[in-house]
């Protein structure tokens, strides 16, 4: 098996703390990477994510990232049509450096492909609440979608932009245009939240009725398509009430549903408005990718526009990969099962990859992941790599350099050798 790419993601503070030269030397010699990317706009998250402390950062034990700030020097003219402007880092050790430039220059010197990623939430909660509420997703009750984890600040409350909002779409396009225009990047990766998926754990179909979106822009887009938005809202709300058991009547309906075993297909047949809404969400997301793809390719023809699929259950977030695939050049899938330490999860890695392959065809580049962090072991890393190779991956991305021990980094190289994988560039 010949893979096109072996990459990992870095963060600006990694470059500051360890030094970009040392990191790239390490990635080439220890792992054999031929590509690297940096999260150029990062969400509110503690690093390393699945360990208490860094294994090899020489300066700090952990890092708490700022909420949704950019780590390059945004070019103001690129945002003249965008109501939302990017926030930049306020930390002294980061704010005066253009970290995208630092990485691009160093990667070129090391003869590595280089890219950037825009992470899950490109705007922070405070701005979402104070200035741009109209662009944030709402549930069927008209409320801003609640925090994913109640009580936790880093749970993306009021940060999930609705991609039917023109301001949100122009903003994300401007961010990518800025980078694709001003930096010699080979790859741009989008990793944004799509529609809020509701709570499928409560009910495999009806849980989605608690998700997004019912904002004014969704209503406007639905009207353009000739959909009966009022009827859709009425049906979705009825089932949202039932799933939440919002009244004595809804509670009885929920209990009756639980006593039976009606299939999801039966519920869809009986309630076509739910399917209309799910389909509408997919069409909205496909349009989002189409416009973003055009913006990025217009700014830098030939660039690799990559979609980082964060969620395996795409149907809950409005993602129909069969429709999105024509607009993206490659796909990264965040199947990070090694970090669980559970061998069965790792042995099931081929399923997500096969689902994606069925959706996008044999020719589309898919770069799936392994996660050499958390509870990952050398054995699980090697098993994960072998499974991806056997299931037709086109490359590998590992998540992430910051949390990987030297032993786990070496295991990636050994795992590829043992699986009979070589990199195209190494031939």
Q: Which of 37, 51, 127 is nearest to 374 (CA)?
A: 51
Total number of residues binding Zn ion (CB under 5 A)? 5
Name which of 83 and 364 has its Cβ closer to Zn ion. Answer: 83
Report the nearest approach of Zn ion to the CB of residue 244 (Å). Answer: 20
Of 109 and 220, nearer to Zn ion (C-beta) is 220
Q: How far apart are CA 422 and CA 419, in angstroms?
A: 9
Instruction: Read off the tokens for 56.
Output: 């090899």
Own/partner contacts of 48-52, CB < 8 Å, gap of 24 or more, are 48/373, 48/400, 48/402, 48/403, 49/373, 49/374, 49/400, 49/403, 50/339, 50/371, 50/373, 50/374, 50/375, 50/403, 51/373, 51/374, 51/403
Quick one: tokens of 84? 């939302």
Least Cβ distance, residue 83 to Zn ion (angstroms): 16
**Min. distance of Cβ 140 from Zn ion in angstroms?**
11
Min CB(327)–Zn ion separation in Å:
20
Asked if residue 192 binds Zn ion (CB under 5 A), the reply is no
Q: How far apart are CA 117 and CA 37, in angstroms?
A: 7
Rounded to whole angstroms, what are the CA distances from 14 to 58, 336, 400?
10, 21, 11
Residue 260 neighbours by CB distance under 10 Å: 7
* Per-residue binding letters, 114-153, with Zn ion (x by CB under 5 A): ----------------------------------------
DSSP-based three-state secondary structure for 422: strand
With contacts defined by CB under 5 A, name the span among 154-162, 185-193, 254-262, 348-356 that binds Zn ion. 154-162
CA angle, 84 then 87 then 90, to 5°: 165
Residue closer to Zn ion, measured from CB, 43 or 169: 169
Helix (H, G, I), strand (E, B), or coil: what is residue 388? helix
Options 42-50, 57-65, 162-170, 418-426: segment touching Zn ion (CB under 5 A): 162-170
| Interface mask toward Zn ion for 3-42; x: CB under 5 A | ----------------------------------------
* Among residues 34, 125, 164, 174, the one that binds Zn ion under rule CB under 5 A: 164
Q: CA dihedral in degrees (45, 46, 47, 53; nearest 10)?
A: -170
Q: Which is nearer to Zn ion, 288 or 398 (by Cβ)?
A: 288
**Interface residues for Zn ion in 65-84 (CB under 5 A)?**
none
Task: Identify whether the C-beta of residue 42 lies closer than 8 Å to the C-beta of residue 121.
Answer: no
Q: Which residue has the tokens 């050398």?
A: 378
198 or 395: CB nearest Zn ion:
198
Question: Shortest approach of Zn ion to residue 168 CB, angstroms?
Answer: 9
The least CB distance from residue 169 to Zn ion, in Å, is 11
Element (H, E) at 397: strand 395-398
308-337 positions binding Zn ion, by CB under 5 A:
none
**Residue list 170-189, contact with Zn ion (CB under 5 A):** none
By CB under 5 A, is residue 162 in contact with Zn ion? Answer: yes
Cβ proximity to Zn ion: between 217 and 400 the closer is 217
Nearer to Zn ion, 284 or 308 (CB): 284
Query: Scanning residues 200 to 239, which ones bind Zn ion (CB under 5 A)?
Result: 213, 215, 218
Shortest distance, position 147 Cβ to Zn ion, whole Å: 18
Least Cβ distance, residue 87 to Zn ion (angstroms) = 23
Closer of 178 and 273 to Zn ion (Cβ): 273
d(CA 105, CA 382): 32
Query: 137 near 144, Cβ under 8 Å?
Result: yes
**164 or 339: CB nearest Zn ion:** 164
Using the contact rule CB under 5 A, the part of the chain among 115-123, 155-163, 223-231, 327-335 near Zn ion is 155-163
d(CA 405, CA 415): 15
Q: Give the tokens for residue 144.
A: 């801003």
Query: Cα angle at 302 between 289 and 306, to 5 degrees?
Result: 40
CB of residue 320 to Zn ion, shortest distance in Å: 17
For residue 125 the two structure tokens come to 């909660």
Residue with smaller CB distance to Zn ion, 23 or 158: 158
Nearest distance, CB of residue 193 and Zn ion, angstroms? 13
Binding residues for Zn ion, per CB under 5 A? 162, 164, 213, 215, 218
């Amino acid at each position: 098996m010949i893979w096109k790419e072996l990459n990992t993601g870095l963060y600006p503070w990694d470059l500051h703390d360890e030094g970009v030269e040392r990191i790239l030397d390490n990635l080439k010699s220890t792992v054999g990477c031929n590509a690297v990317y940096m999260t150029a706009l990062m969400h509110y998250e503690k690093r390393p994510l699945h360990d208490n402390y860094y294994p090899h950062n020489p300066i700090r034990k952990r890092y708490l990232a700022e909420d949704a700030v950019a780590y390059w020097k945004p070019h103001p003219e690129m945002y003249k049509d965008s109501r939302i402007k990017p926030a930049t880092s306020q930390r002294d050790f980061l704010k005066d450096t253009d970290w995208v430039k630092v990485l691009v220059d160093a990667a070129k010197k090391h003869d590595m492909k280089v890219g950037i990623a825009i992470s899950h939430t490109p705007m922070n909660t405070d701005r979402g609440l104070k200035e741009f509420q109209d662009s944030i997703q709402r549930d069927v009750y008209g409320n801003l979608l609640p925090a994913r984890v109640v009580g936790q600040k880093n749970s993306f409350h009021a940060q999930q932009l609705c991609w039917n909002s023109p301001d949100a779409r122009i903003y994300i396009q401007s961010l990518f245009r800025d980078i694709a225009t001003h930096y010699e990047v080979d790859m741009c990766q989008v990793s944004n939240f799509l529609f809020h998926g509701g709570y499928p754990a409560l009910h495999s179909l009806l849980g989605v009725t608690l998700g997004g979106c019912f904002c004014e822009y969704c209503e406007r887009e639905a009207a353009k398509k000739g959909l009966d938005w009022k009827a859709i809202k009425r049906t979705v709300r009825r089932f949202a009430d039932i799933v939440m058991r919002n009244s004595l009547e809804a509670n009885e309906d929920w209990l009756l549903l639980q006593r039976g075993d009606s299939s999801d297909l039966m519920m869809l047949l009986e309630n076509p408005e739910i399917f209309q809404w799910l389909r509408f969400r997919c069409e909205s997301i496909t349009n989002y990718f189409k416009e973003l793809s055009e913006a990025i390719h217009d700014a830098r023809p030939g660039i690799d526009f990559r979609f980082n699929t964060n969620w395996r259950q795409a149907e809950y977030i409005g993602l129909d990969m069969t429709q999105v695939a024509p607009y993206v050049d490659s796909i990264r899938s965040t199947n990070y099962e090694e970090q669980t330490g559970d061998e069965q999860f790792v042995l099931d890695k081929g399923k997500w990859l096969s689902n994606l392959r069925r959706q996008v065809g044999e020719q589309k580049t898919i770069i799936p992941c392994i996660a050499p962090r958390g509870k990952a072991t050398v054995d699980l890393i090697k098993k994960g790599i072998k499974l991806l190779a056997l299931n037709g991956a086109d490359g590998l991305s590992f998540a992430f350099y910051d949390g990987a021990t030297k032993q786990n980094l070496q295991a990636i190289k050994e795992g590829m050798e043992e699986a009979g994988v070589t990199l195209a560039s190494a031939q």
